[in-house]
Amino acid sequence: MGLTDNAAQLEEGLREKVLKAMDYLEIPLYEKRNDGSNLPVHPINQTHLCREMKYSDDASKNAFNPFMLQALHEMRVGLYAVLLINHLKITDKEWKHNMFTAYLCHDYGKDLIIGPNDCFPINVNHKFGSREETLVKNHVSLDIALGNVFNPIVTSIIERHHYYRKHDPYPKKPKTLETPEVKYLAQMLGIVDFYDAASTRINRRTQQSLLGKILGRKFQSQRSIRNMLFDEYGDQQLSYQGKHLPHAEKTGRQFIEEMYAHRIFGRKNRLNPFEDIF
Ligand SMILES: [Fe+2]
Ligand SMILES: [Fe+2]
């Protein structure tokens, strides 16, 4: 897929990769029932990522809209989890599943707070007011029933995906249990989430530059993204000495540098950097 493909093709391409990733990680989407019908068994079935996008006409199919941009972001973050699983040599199947599901569905709460005919908060072009900010922060809140969809570990990771950053972390008091695995996986999710959002961000001041961005010309430079990542996550300690994942002892800065050195970050096609996996 080239940089100039239309939105629907890009979405289809990423969706195909996500399904291949689930196959690769041996995560079942459905289980066959005795009567031959399929029983949905993975929470992705309940998120917009699994639903067919509805387009009113060809023009809307080929255009990027806020919902689609959000879905693309979530799919990419899920696919970064696969690169990380391979890079860190995570072998425990259950933890691979938890990690992939949490990364893929980390912004699921946005589905729950977005009204059916209302694109808020992803269509907003101005700086958020305080009411809007509170609403957006609710996308990690257990009050919106995240726990009904995901297992307790995935829910704990999702609740903390904005918790370890330096500036304005939230929620102030997470309600779920923080185990060493949850902390480590949520720290890395925060970094990957930030990286993907920063490297594909629409310039809110000049919406017309979106096309330029899609053509790969108007993205923020890797150097400035790396500096923002260092500022937000560089000082924290990523440490894991438990039983389920390979051990780690590094600073956020070292982890970010490692991501660039191993070409997990810094890939050329920012909207679909996964052409060579699977
Ligand atoms: Fe988020
Ligand atoms: Fe996100």
Give the integer Cα–Cα distance in Å for 119 and 104: 20
CA 167 vs. chain centroid, Å, equals 19
CATH of segment(s) 7-261: 1.10.3210
3-state secondary structure of 36: coil
Strand partners, 40: 30
- Quote the tokens at residue 219: 């993205």
Question: Nearest bound ligand to CA 193?
Answer: 2
Tens digit of each residue's pLDDT (9 = 90 or more) over 157-184 = 999 999 999 999 999 999 999 999 999 9
Residue 207: pLDDT band with limits 50, 70, 90: very low
10 near 72, Cβ under 8 Å?
yes
Cα(161) to centroid(ligand 1), Å = 6
Rounded to two decimals, the pTM is 0.89
Question: Nearest bound ligand to CA 110?
Answer: 1
Question: What protein residues have CB closer than 5 angstroms to ion ligand 2?
Answer: 107, 193
Cα(35) to centroid(ligand 2), Å = 38
For residues 257-273, average pLDDT = 93
Cα(34) to centroid(ligand 2), Å = 38
Q: What is the pLDDT of residue 8?
A: 80
Tens digit of each residue's pLDDT (9 = 90 or more) over 186-203 = 999 999 999 999 998 755
Top-confidence residue, 132 or 83: 83
Cα(161) to centroid(ligand 2), Å = 8
Structural domain boundaries of the chain?
Answer: 7-261
3-state secondary structure of 40: strand
